[in-house]
Chains A and B, each alone.
Chain A
Amino acid sequence: MSRPAHWTLLAAGLLLLLAPQIIGWIDKPFYLDLITRIVILSIAAVSLNLILGYGGMISFGHAAFIGIGAYAVGIPAYYEEYSGLLQLGIALGGAGLFALVTGIICLRTRGIHFIMITLAFAQMAYFTFVSLDQYGGDDGLVIDVRSEFPGLIDLESGVQLYYLSLAALALALFLVHRLVHSRFGRVIEGARSNRERMHSLGYDTYRYQLVCYVIAGMLCGLSGWLLGNFTSFISPEMMDWTRSGELLFMVVLGGTGLLFGPVLGVSAFIIGEEVLSGITVYWQFIFGVILILVVLFARGGLGRLLLRSGDGHG
């Protein structure tokens, strides 16, 4: 990475760190909501980027993990169990288990079949939660009390929830960075570009990919756990297949296989949605056209555009 890119990152990091103060000065509390949403969804996008960008596994069912994480807040809260550690444990464990079970089957397939089977499993999760009438079914569930960490942090405060999310994002980025630069990451990238060669080198790529898939699922579950706390309302709609499509769009928009690409993509998507929906009710039309144009003409995403303008080579 070039020098200007380092400075941009540092500036962006500082801006995120000071955001609640700045928002306090200009007295626009709504912006805190917006930026919290960006940070939380970035974690999901970073996890999708791990399997998609580095591992070449195009998951079209990633929103299922968000939903599992969110319901890990909602269902215990329904029974008045607000322990944050317990809920977080359920979120990570549930998402991890779902990733393990579905991954065992999904990773047997390649290409278009992998896209479709991840979609199918996400649909199964979607319909499972739709049919849970006890927890609101289609209509969803309101979370009255956010996860509790007595004496540590108070999530009822928007600023504290924001900082927790930011810390989680930093952790996710650090984890992905370490993973892809380890031997494990080399095997994952090798399996994407030439599986047969990795096999003949003696690597059991299936196992590596499965572990990678489970890690990504758990990271995304963490994002869902934060999102459930943030929105205080959960419904199966969170894992609708169009949500998975949007997540894919965000990752590709930012640039697949770039560490900070997903954060960039999520920011552009959410800010774009906010600005456009303020201008016209038909903002989705503009969004759709942009999406098509990005695919047709701006290959490599925003991240690579920035890198190119920064140092002159990709």
Chain B
Amino acid sequence: MNSTLVISQLLNGLQLGVLLFLLAAGLTLVLGIMNFVNLAHGSFYMVGAYLCATFTLWLDSFLLGLLLAIPAMLLVGVVTELLVVRHLYRRDHLDQVLASFGLILVFDSTVHMVWGPAGLTFVLPAVLNGQVTVFPGVEFPVYRLLIIAVGLLVALGLYLLVARTRVGMLIRAGAANPVMVGALGVDIKTLFTLVFALGAVLAGIAGMLIAPITEASIGMGKDILIITLVVIIIGGIGSIRGSFIAAMVVGLIDTLGRSYLDDLLKLVLSNQAAETSAPAISSMLIYILMAVILYFRPEGLFPPRSR
């Protein structure tokens, strides 16, 4: 193990954590406030990636692509909420799981119809395409650093929005007691639509940021959705702070597990046993973590206090 590799793996873990936080923030708000299980949240990640790639190719500018894709995601979120999601807030979780499973099928096949079965990608502008020295001797891609920075900024913005503004106060009040907030004359329906659309935009931004690295593809939201669910369950449903911490922990454990678990296992197992079992265990690590945490704390690490 050399230290330069460790540092860049730490940064990679941080980058995954930041992406997971962008996805988890919306999901945990929607689940915590509206009590709605949205399996289609990963679809927003996918749609965001496709929209950003399309606009970027069309306008030949990543920045303009991002700026156009964000309001487009807002629209997607609002329309989804008005057409389907709004009618399911009072239903049980099973109905919500099924309806949002239906939404996944609709989103996937819509993307298939519009963009075809192949993935879509674009080249980063030259400025973002290089490496930069983060520590003496440690080179790291500029763009991945940018993702971390953007993610942390969004996290800060979200914190300020929820903790310091009137809308944020209403969101927190809505999480604690939506009926009472409605009785006090707040337009709770519009507030719910806004929260849902905000979640869609955040998930979309995660997709936009990852599109130039992995490419936009059908089903990209499928796997990350499950990891995101793990994050919000570990963090405690409805807690933005919890999902931030959980996202970082999951991102780091997943990345570091994949790189170093075989070395760790070699301390206790034979070389061959370590090398065959490490890949399996490292992809299971976060699920094991979740199972252990739920066993000891069935509500997650930071369950919201006021419920």
Spell out A's residues near B (CB within 8 Å).
52, 58, 60, 105, 108-113, 115-117, 119-121, 123-124, 127-128, 130-133, 241-242, 245, 248-249, 252, 256, 281-285, 287-292, 294-296, 299
Given contacts A113-B294, A288-B106, A289-B102, contact A119 B226 (CB under 8 A): yes
Mask: chain B, 64-79; 1 = CB below 8 Å from A; 0 = not:
0000000000000000
Stretch at the interface among B1-9, B163-171, B282-290: B282-290
14 CB contacts below 8 A, A to B, read A60-B97, A108-B295, A109-B298, A113-B233, A113-B298, A117-B290, A127-B280, A249-B98, A249-B101, A287-B102, A288-B106, A292-B106, A296-B88, A296-B99
Task: Say how far A66's CB is from chain B's closest CB, in angstroms.
Answer: 18
Q: Judging by beta carbons under 8 Å apart, are B102 and A291 in contact? A: yes
Interface hits, B43-100 → A, CB 8 Å:
84, 87-88, 91, 93-95, 97-99
Given contacts A113-B298, A291-B105, contact A285 B110 (CB under 8 A): yes
Residue of B nearest to A109 (CB): B298
Task: Say how far B284's CB is from chain A's closest CB, in angstroms.
Answer: 5
Q: Which residues of A contact B104 (CB under 8 A)?
A: 288
Interface hits, B271-292 → A, CB 8 Å:
276, 279-280, 283-284, 287-288, 290-291
Q: Judging by beta carbons under 8 Å apart, are B84 and A292 in contact? A: yes
Q: Judging by beta carbons under 8 Å apart, are B106 and A289 in contact? A: yes
Pick from A60, A256, A299 the residue with the most CB of B within 10 Å. Answer: A60
Q: Judging by beta carbons under 8 Å apart, are B98 and A111 in contact? A: no
Q: Judging by beta carbons under 8 Å apart, are B105 and A284 in contact? A: yes
Task: Say how far B89's CB is from chain A's closest CB, in angstroms.
Answer: 12
Q: Judging by beta carbons under 8 Å apart, are A245 and B222 in contact? A: no
Closest 10 CB pairs of A and B: A288-B105, A291-B102, A131-B280, A288-B106, A285-B109, A292-B102, A127-B283, A295-B99, A288-B102, A284-B109
Instruction: Report the separation of the CA atoms of residues A112 and B291 in the bound assembly, to the nearest whole angstrom.
Output: 14
Q: Which residues of B contact A110 (CB under 8 A)?
A: 298
Chain A binding surface SS class: helix
Q: Which residues of B contact A287 (CB under 8 A)?
A: 102, 105
Q: Judging by beta carbons under 8 Å apart, are B280 and A242 in contact? A: no
Q: Judging by beta carbons under 8 Å apart, are A108 and B298 in contact? A: yes
Task: Say how far B225's CB is from chain A's closest CB, in angstroms.
Answer: 9
Residue of A nearest to B104 (CB): A288
Q: Which residues of B contact A113 (CB under 8 A)?
A: 233, 294, 298-299
Instruction: Report the separation of the CA atoms of residues A285 and B105 in the bound assembly, to the nearest whole angstrom.
Output: 6
Q: Judging by beta carbons under 8 Å apart, are A242 and B291 in contact? A: no
Instruction: Report the separation of the CA atoms of residues A112 and B102 in the bound assembly, to the nearest whole angstrom.
Output: 18
Given contacts A112-B31, A116-B233, A120-B230, contact A291 B98 (CB under 8 A): yes
Q: Which residues of B contact A283 (CB under 8 A)?
A: 109
Instruction: Report the separation of the CA atoms of residues A249 and B299 in the bound assembly, to the nearest whole angstrom.
Output: 27
Residue of B nearest to A240 (CB): B222
CB of B229 within 8 Å of the partner chain: yes
CB of B155 within 8 Å of the partner chain: no
Instruction: Report the separation of the CA atoms of residues A287 and B105 in the bound assembly, to the nearest whole angstrom.
Output: 7
Q: Judging by beta carbons under 8 Å apart, are B283 and A130 in contact? A: yes
CB of B189 within 8 Å of the partner chain: no
Q: Which residues of A contact B226 (CB under 8 A)?
A: 119, 123, 241
Instruction: Report the separation of the CA atoms of residues A133 and B276 in the bound assembly, to the nearest whole angstrom.
Output: 9
The listed residue (A121, A130, A290, A292) touching B287 by CB distance below 8 A is A121
Q: Judging by beta carbons under 8 Å apart, are B294 and A291 in contact? A: no
Residue of A nearest to B278 (CB): A131
